[in-house]
Amino acid sequence: MKRKAATLHRERLTKIVATLGPASSSPEMIRALFQAGADVFRLNFSHGRQEDHAERLRAIRAVEEESGRPVCVMADLQGPKLRVGTFANGPVTLTQGQKFRLDLDKTPGDATRVGLPHPEIFRAIAEGTILLVDDGKVRLRVLRHGEDFAETEVEAGTRISDRKGVNVPNAVLPLSPLTPKDRDDLRYALEIGVDWVALSFVQRPEDVAEARRLIAGRAALLSKLEKPSAIQHLEEIVELSDGIMVARGDLGVEMPPEDVPSLQKQIVREARIAGKPVIVATQMLESMISSPTPTRAEASDVATAVYDGADAVMLSAETAAGQYPIEAVTIMDRIAKRVERDPNYKKIVDAAHPDLESTTADAITAAARQVARTIQAASIVTYTTSGSTTLRAARERPDVPIIGLTSNLNTARRVTLSFGVHAIHTSDVHTFAEMVQKATRLAHDHGLAPAGSRIVVTAGVPFGTPGNTNILRIAWVEG
């Protein structure tokens, strides 16, 4: 990758994920989003053609080449979409207490019934199961059911229309999170070279294991937590995943809204303990789809995720289809910067600091954070092949940027998602002295350590051994 003498770096440690779509698909807009503060670009395979995503990825790689900065690209798979069928005469009106039938009949529906072409739902439900239609706008309670039908009573909601989504909050459905479409999209995404794959509809640890087998190390795997059943297996899912997304949209449909904030904190804490990057997503600045400024509640929501110590915050429709994509990234950037300058921010993040594991790598990494704070170092430099040294540094949530030096471009792109990491793709080194010399020069060149400042350097010797962080060095930066 071409390296520029002066390279763009962010003045914040929390990362921003921007979703691309019709409002943000041109090379000019992608470049503008990156310059406004987007660190990671999400390709949402729920929408658009595969060729559209490939074109956007090419534009991202052009920005990467121009800037000299590794840029992270995530492919978000759609997952199974459970929907009712169609109605013969358009939307129907419902009344509370009326009976309404769901069945496998493909005949267009009416005010008394509609098709639900998902036999797995009928196999999973029981008497009393609640079915939510259209993001919970319609609430149906199952009275009785068979292998091909469910008789329900309308508990809430007045209208239902074609192809609205169905959620089954309190049931584990016998479904793989990877539909035939997802498997084809996954194959394509890996072919074009994405860095992360986000897996939707995760219910069990087995779902993550299945995806890992298919990915086979060609990208990092991020599990989206949007089903209540996934929360019951949180620790195992985090362990099997490379990263986690708190997908609050579906969580907010399937669980009581009052439960979502505490769940968000629980998930972020669990991911931080494991040293896995965690993204807080969905409806963060939703009003900016049609407004140039967010509500104050939305600004507070973004700030809360930053105070929680999330690695990244994400924009969805705001940048994919909204009228103000640049403004949305800009305000999210400003909120994150403002929070990180708050004197209470460090206290709050430190209070949730995970316990160390009894390993040399954790001892060295924790010491690097403490040394950097004590001597007011300008940055922490990690030298990594697999990314593990850099990820352990990010787990510590230091006060200063983490420079991730690596000769592996794929690693550089993947760790860009992590808290505080400024990844630099550079040539390999053969001795520790050579590495320290390179670290001081690159820290200065990238504007992350002025002349006369100090940096803290960590690495694993011998080089190329994943997870073998065993050396710490303080180095002066010359002009």
E strands in 352-449: 379-383, 402-406, 421-425
139 beta partners: 132, 156
Query: Residue 457 CB: number of other CB atoms within 10 A?
Result: 25
Q: Going by C-beta distance under 8 Å and a sequence separation of 6 or more, which residues neighbour residue 429?
A: 383, 435, 438, 463
Q: What are the residue numbers of the active site?
A: 42, 83, 224, 282
Q: Going by C-beta distance under 8 Å and a sequence separation of 6 or more, which residues neighbour residue 256?
A: none
Output phi, psi for 203, to 5 deg.
-115, -35
Contact 277/271 with Cβ under 8 angstroms? yes
| Distance, CA of 243 to CA of 234 (rounded, Å) | 12
Query: Residue 433 CB: number of other CB atoms within 10 A?
Result: 10
Q: Where are the alpha helices (DSSP H) in 2-49?
A: 27-36
Contact 314/245 with Cβ under 8 angstroms? yes
Query: Residue 246 CB: number of other CB atoms within 10 A?
Result: 25
**Helices and strands (H, E) in the chain, number of each type:** 17, 21
ω into 401 cis (within 30 of 0)? no
Contact 456/380 with Cβ under 8 angstroms? yes
CA 474 and chain centroid, separation: 33
Sign of CA dihedral 271, 272, 278, 279: positive
The total number of residues shown for the chain amounts to 479
| Distance, CA of 50 to CA of 72 (rounded, Å) | 18
